[in-house]
Amino acid sequence: MEISSLYDRDKETGSIISGNTGTKVKRIKLIGVGGTIVSRQSENGFVPDMTPKELISMIPELEGYCEIIFEEVMNTDSSNLQPEDWSFILPVIVNALNDKEVDGIVVIHGTDTMTFTASATAIFVRNINKPIVFTGSQIPWEVFGSDARRNIIDAFRIATETDIIEPVIVFNSRVYRATRTVKLREYDLSAFESVDNFPVAEISRTIDMVDPFVKLRSEQTENAYVDGEISASVALLRVFPGMDPMIFEHIVKGGYKGIIVEGYGAGNLPIKERSLLDKIKSIVDRGIPVVITTQCVFGRTEALYETNNIFVQKGAINGKDMISETALIKLIWALGKGKTLGEIKEKMYTNLAGEIKEFIN
């Protein structure tokens, strides 16, 4: 990409420098995954069709602000993303983290599964030493009123101007911790919300840090790496009135090694008509972990009622304040780290990236 006349390259290092200040312009790795933000209208609806370079070429504000290095991993609707795709995306992020010429990372991604990919980055990647910013849009670039330009500029500001070193989602002028974020709205430009946690920061004329516990850049010298094997080994099941308990047997027969169960309220499950107790106990007795989370957007699972406590007594794991999307990723990771149910529970309760409150035992 061309740099404006205010910016030149250092003859020895090749780094871009500002003609006005003499300071180095930061290099940002832009990783393309796809999504609404790069979609165009087709006869079947919107489909990802634009490359990251095409997208950035239409944002002249970024010219000279930073040097952009492009890498397109895939270009797909995020509804098509599978755990196997994270195995391709995460190594690209790790390579950028370990590249000393890269100062920050922006990932263009569809909104439908952005929280899953961002959480997978937070849970599986170790020694993060620079900003990793996920963004996308609710409205395709080519549609009048698109939020794409604003979100991209905000994402580059966070990657360039801050020292945040944990995966975040930037959307509608807010910065969210990956492991504490859910998509709540399909049409509203404010698609995401932070669950039981402050946003990390708010973006306006300035970038205002809101969360005092955000991880910031330090003298990290160890190389980043993917810690564990990503697989499609965990199922996520939402409890509903009339659920046949046999559904758990079908899930196990399908080859899943762990189950996240979204209960009512504080993680409550039926124990009378169509009781789930016997089936969950049977599965746990076979060494398959069952983690109970809540269907409520805000709140946590607690052994307040018999309809939760009795399942915990039979070996189920309370998900505490983990949101279901993150609990699924966390259990995939924990299955590769623990052999016994006790070891897996210990891993689930180990705070890796702000996904669970550290005071919870």
Low-confidence winner among 50-54, 188-192, 252-256 (lowest mean pLDDT): 188-192
Supply the angle between the helices 306-313 and 277-285 in degrees, to the nearest 10.
20
| Banded pLDDT at 319 (limits 50, 70, 90) | very high
Low-confidence winner among 116-130, 156-170, 209-223 (lowest mean pLDDT): 209-223
Contact 176, 200 (CB under 8 A): yes
Low-confidence winner among 3-12, 16-25, 190-199, 260-269 (lowest mean pLDDT): 3-12
Q: What is the mean pLDDT of residues 176-180?
A: 95
pTM > 0.85: yes
* Residue 264, token pair as written in the block: 């009512």
Q: What is the mean pLDDT of residues 306-334?
A: 94
Helix, coil or strand: residue 295:
coil
| Dihedrals phi, psi of 58, to nearest 5 degrees | -100, 10
Is-catalytic flag, 160? no
Low-confidence winner among 17-31, 61-75, 323-337 (lowest mean pLDDT): 17-31
**131, amino acid identity:** P
Is the per-residue pLDDT at 11 higher than 90? no
Same fold, 7-226 and 234-348: yes
**109, amino acid identity:** H
7-226 is a CATH 3.40.50.1170 domain = yes
DSSP 10-47: -TTT--EEETTT-PBPPEEEEEEEE-GGGEEEETTEEE
Determine the Cα–Cα distance for residues 270 and 67; give it in Å rounded to an integer.
56
Task: From residue 190, give the alpha-carbon distance in Å to each of 33, 147, 263.
Answer: 21, 10, 27
Determine the Cα–Cα distance for residues 15 and 254; give it in Å rounded to an integer.
53
Query: Catalytic one among 13, 36, 121, 181?
Result: 36
CATH topology of domain 234-348: Rossmann fold (3.40.50)
Parse the chain into domains and list their residue ranges: 7-226, 234-348
Determine the Cα–Cα distance for residues 126 and 172; give it in Å rounded to an integer.
28
Strand partners, 30: 70, 106
Q: What is the mean pLDDT of residues 54-77?
A: 93
Please provide the average confidence, as pLDDT, over all residues in the chain.
89
Give the closest residue to 167 by CA, choosing from 31, 76, 74: 31
Determine the Cα–Cα distance for residues 91 and 84; give it in Å rounded to an integer.
12
Q: How far is CA 210 from the centre of its chain?
A: 19
The contacts of residue 44 (CB under 8 Å, 6+ apart) are none
